[in-house]
Amino acid sequence: MIRPAIFVAAFAVLLPASVPAETPPTLRLDYFHTGSAEEERFALDALVEEGPWGGNPDRPLDDTNLGKYRFEIVDRATQRPLYSRGFASIYGEWETTEEARSVYRTFHESLRFPEPAVPVQVIVKKRCADGLFREIWAVAVDPKGPRVDRTGPPPGDNVWAVQDSGPPAGKVDVVLLGDGYAETEMDKWHRDARRMADLLFALSPFKERRADFNVWAVDTPSRESGVARPSDGVHRRSALRVAYDAFGSERYVLAFDNRRIREAAAAVPYEAMILVVNERKYGGGGIFNLYATAASDNAFTPYVLVHEFGHHFAGLADEYYTSDVAYEATSERPEPWELNATASATSPKWKDLVTPGVPLPTPWAKEAFEEAQKEIQARRRQIRAEERPEEEMEALFREEQQRVNELLAQGRYADAVGAFEGAMYASRGYYRPQANCMMFTRRLGFCEVCRRALERVIDLYTRPAP
């Protein structure tokens, strides 16, 4: 294990092998995001200098066109763009819930970028219904000004390498943070962290691209074991305040104390973050360019971890539509920005991958699937309502996946790339690329379109601009 100060020094020694000696620090802009379903506002909170910037120096500008939001760093004197990234946020999800129609809420958020050498304008844009980004907030930032906090990461947390593949500038850097691990469970946390990395790299495309990743871990011991599960009557003040029941969904695991999370992660370079909760109950979450969460000890942890990382890392959409979700249904069907869902069955965004001869839209056993899901979802709700053991839920999921795999393996187009109706929590009007994928069911494995989307983001952090 390495203390933060020692780690930063070691990290700095590595940098000259791949990036110039003048590699800048990381600058974090913290702000408050406030509003409702009808209005949103922003307010600057703080500017914080973290450790050396570990991003790809050859790809400062994001050309993936992903995200509900996008931020740009622009030189104020020349108006030249210096850095940009797409992202999503907890606020962006919350504003689609029923609660947002009647109350205002505030969420703390952060933008991270290489500290510029000149005064800049930080511009936040939001994607509109036509798919284009429009500016919704801008703030002037002087990186040399007195309001920048230069005290560095908080002392005390141990950081260590789960996988060190080389200098961060040429790698995707992932940070693992554990929550709900008591001081006496640090050995378990270390085993779990290594296991999470192995689970991620067991599947394509991560398996083939493992050498393109560094994985760092930070020890953040809690006072007691486990995290809050409010719907179960369990309330805990874990180190990172990760909890189940986000937006009223008992399986949705999020952390709302953004500053606490960012301070814990600040000791290492990172493009992606995974929060591992020391729990058996099925649950997780993933928000594009924020973080992914997963329970450590569920029988379906391998699926949850990689599925949620797909959301977080490449902005992949949920393709399922029969499970209960917190978001309000809408009859509108704008074209999603996510690369694995479309509103255009006859001309999907992955049309270059469509199997020759496959009809669009593509027939599949939709009615039989939906009928089977009615029973499964009713039994699932009953297990939770009766507070029955987690083993029963896991047994139900095993039964469900066996039935689903058999059903989706039938038919002429079972292995084809096409446009299969049912995605984005909607049974009608949205289409997914293949009959089965781990963004649709708990099958372990991404479809061809999802794999390409993931590869594209890996390249953003590890390859020169095309």
Q: What is the dihedral of CA 234, 235, 237, 240, to 10 degrees?
A: 70
Residue pLDDT, tens place only, 404-419: 999 999 989 999 999 9
What pLDDT does residue 110 have? 98
What is residue 168's DSSP assignment? G
Residue pLDDT, tens place only, 186-198: 999 999 999 999 9
Q: Is the pLDDT of residue 100 over 90?
A: yes
Place of tokens 């399922």: 320
H or E element at residue 378: helix 366-385
What pLDDT does residue 328 have? 59
Assess whether 301 and 361 both reside in one domain.
Answer: no
Residue 338 falls within a domain, yes or no?
no
Q: Are strands 272-277 and 254-255 parallel, antiparallel or unpaired?
A: unpaired
Collapsing DSSP to helix, strand or coil, 48 comes out as strand
Assess whether 235 and 279 both reside in one domain.
Answer: yes
Q: Which of 288, 320, 314, 388 is nearest to 71 (CA)?
A: 288
For residues 175 and 193, give the distance between their C-alpha atoms in angstroms, rounded to a whole number: 10
Q: How confident is the model at residue 19 (pLDDT cuts 50, 70, 90)?
A: very low
Assess whether 123 and 170 both reside in one domain.
Answer: no
Given 124, 151, 178, the domain boundary residue is 151
Residue 1 falls within a domain, yes or no?
no
* Domains: count for the chain: 3
Residue pLDDT, tens place only, 148-187: 999 987 776 799 999 999 999 999 999 999 999 999 999 9
Q: Is the pLDDT of residue 1 over 60?
A: no
Helices and strands per DSSP (H, E), number in the chain: 8, 18
Contacts of 74 (CB under 8 A, 6+ apart): 80, 81, 82, 120, 121, 122, 123
Report the residue count for the chain: 466
Residue 147 falls within a domain, yes or no?
yes
Residue 145 falls within a domain, yes or no?
yes
Question: Strands (DSSP E) along 219-355, which ranges?
Answer: 242-243, 254-255, 272-277, 284-287, 291-295
H or E element at residue 427: strand 426-432
Q: How confident is the model at residue 326 (pLDDT cuts 50, 70, 90)?
A: low
Assess whether 169 and 284 both reside in one domain.
Answer: yes
Given 264, 288, 314, the domain boundary residue is 314
Residue 207 falls within a domain, yes or no?
yes
What is residue 448's DSSP assignment? H
Assess whether 30 and 52 both reside in one domain.
Answer: yes
Burial readout 231-250 (b: 16 or more C-beta within 10 A, e: otherwise): eeeeebebbbbbbbbbbebb
What pLDDT does residue 373 have? 95
Assess whether 173 and 307 both reside in one domain.
Answer: yes
Assess whether 33 and 87 both reside in one domain.
Answer: yes
User: Amino acid identity of 346?
Assistant: T
Assess whether 229 and 369 both reside in one domain.
Answer: no
Tally the C-alpha atoms within 13 A of residue 167's C-alpha that lie toward its C-beta: 18
What pLDDT does residue 10 have? 37
Residue 19 falls within a domain, yes or no?
no
Assess whether 180 and 258 both reside in one domain.
Answer: yes
For residues 264 and 68, give the distance between their C-alpha atoms in angstroms, rounded to a whole number: 26
Residue 7 falls within a domain, yes or no?
no
Q: 303 lies in which domain range?
A: 159-314
Q: Which of 121, 126, 100, 350 is nearest to 248 (CA)?
A: 100
What pLDDT does residue 20 have? 45
Assess whether 193 and 137 both reside in one domain.
Answer: no
Assess whether 309 and 163 both reside in one domain.
Answer: yes
What pLDDT does residue 323 have? 82
Assess whether 137 and 174 both reside in one domain.
Answer: no
Given 314, 332, 366, the domain boundary residue is 314
Where residue 90 sits, what CATH number does that domain have?
2.60.40.3250
